[in-house]
Each structure stands twice: as structure tokens, then as C-alpha cells.
Amino acid sequence: MKKLAVLVSGAGSILEAIIQDGISVELVLADRECRGLDIAKTAGIPAGVVERVFGEKFNREEYTRRILQILLDHEIEVVAMAGFMTVLAPIIFEEFEGVILNTHPSLLPAFKGDNAVQDTLDYGVKLTGCTIHRATAKLDEGPILMQAAVPVLQGDTRETLHERIKQVERALYPRVIKQILET
Ligand code: GRF
């Protein structure tokens, strides 16, 4: 079985689903203090923050090299981004070519970016979903591994729609990760 690291920034409910599925997670990294870290620690998984700064002082290349070095030190072979909110520099996608996975709360290529759920509501589409794909240096691009549709319901808010999408992500992402770890 290949060694998996998960990158988080937020609530970590998708990480929680990965753990609950019985998948062995070697390492969890976060770019800020967040609930995802607590979930990792509670599960006994080595976890740490590689804190980032926001604004002009942020050096993406240097930050990415820090993350990359930690992954290499832990001999990680597959990386699953699960709500990780920092865009990493191309170097990491060269080093881990094809084995950095991402789940995104829209049917890509529609609604890329970190505001996908609100953009979906604002546009008024009636069907959205989630996309699990191999990540590349281009944000929310890369070969699609799995997609599932989720309806947008009348009266949906960003929160209600996102939660409906996340329920599907929690079911599908662990399945895809397992397949990648086994091949
Ligand atoms: C997911 O919807 C993921 O697609 C998006 O961020 C959310 C993460 O949720 N990039 P959580 O932090 O795992 O609850």
C-alpha cells in the first residue's frame, strides 16, 4: 500500500471520512490551525501546521518547498488535498506528478476556484456536484477520476448546498483514494 498524506485547511470532514473508511493516513499537514488538525491528532496521525502568511509577503515557491520537503522526509507517495486552501507552486506537481489528488465542489471545468459553491448559486445552475481529479500546477485542472451530480434546491444557501455536495465527496473521495493507493 502506498503512503498517503492529506492536506487540510478547514473543518476536515472529508479527512474524517477518509479515516473512518479505514484508509491508513501517514501524515496530515495544514496551512493554518483548523479542526482538520484536531481530527488527525485524535486519530493518532502525525500532524503539523506549515503556517502561511497572507498578502504580498507570501512566498509561494518557498512555502511549497517546505511542504515538499516534509512529504519527502516522510516518504509520502500519494497526496490527497481535502479542502486545502493554499495554491501550491508547480515544483510540487513535478515532484509528485499525477499522484496529488483533489476534490472540488463543482462539476469541473465549471466553477473553478475557492468560491465555487457561491459562484454556482450566483449563476443559477440547477445541477452541480463534485469532481475528484489529479491535480496539476493549473488550479482545478487535471485528469478527472470521478464526478457525481448534486441538485441545487430552491432556497439553498452556500452552506446548505456545500453540505449536500460534501456528503457526496465524503462517500466518493475515499473510494478513489483507495484505488490510487492500491495501484
Ligand atoms: C470540500 O468541499 C472540498 O471540495 C473543498 O473544501 C471542502 C472541504 O471540506 N475544497 P472539509 O474541510 O473536509 O469539511
Do residues 129 and 109 touch, judged by C-beta distance below 8 A? no
74 is catalytic: no
Q: Which residues contact 100 (CB under 8 A, 6 or more apart)?
A: 78, 79, 81, 92, 93, 134, 135
pLDDT digits (tens, 9 = 90+) for 148-182: 999 999 999 999 999 999 999 999 999 999 999 99
Give residue for cell 444557501.
Answer: 157
pLDDT digits (tens, 9 = 90+) for 5-54: 999 999 999 999 999 999 999 999 999 999 999 999 999 999 999 999 99
Among protein residues, the one with the nearest Cα to ligand 1's atom 8 is 83
pLDDT digits (tens, 9 = 90+) for 80-103: 999 999 999 999 999 999 999 999
Helix axes 13-20, 35-42, angle to 10 degrees: 20
**What is the model's pTM?**
0.96
Alpha helices in the chain (DSSP H): 13-20, 35-42, 60-73, 90-95, 116-123, 158-182
pLDDT digits (tens, 9 = 90+) for 51-71: 999 999 999 999 999 999 999
The answer on pLDDT for 183 being more than 90 is no
C-alpha 84 to ligand 1 mean position (Å): 8
Out of 28, 103, 145, mutate this one to test ligand 1's pocket (max ligand atoms within 8 Å of CB): namely 103
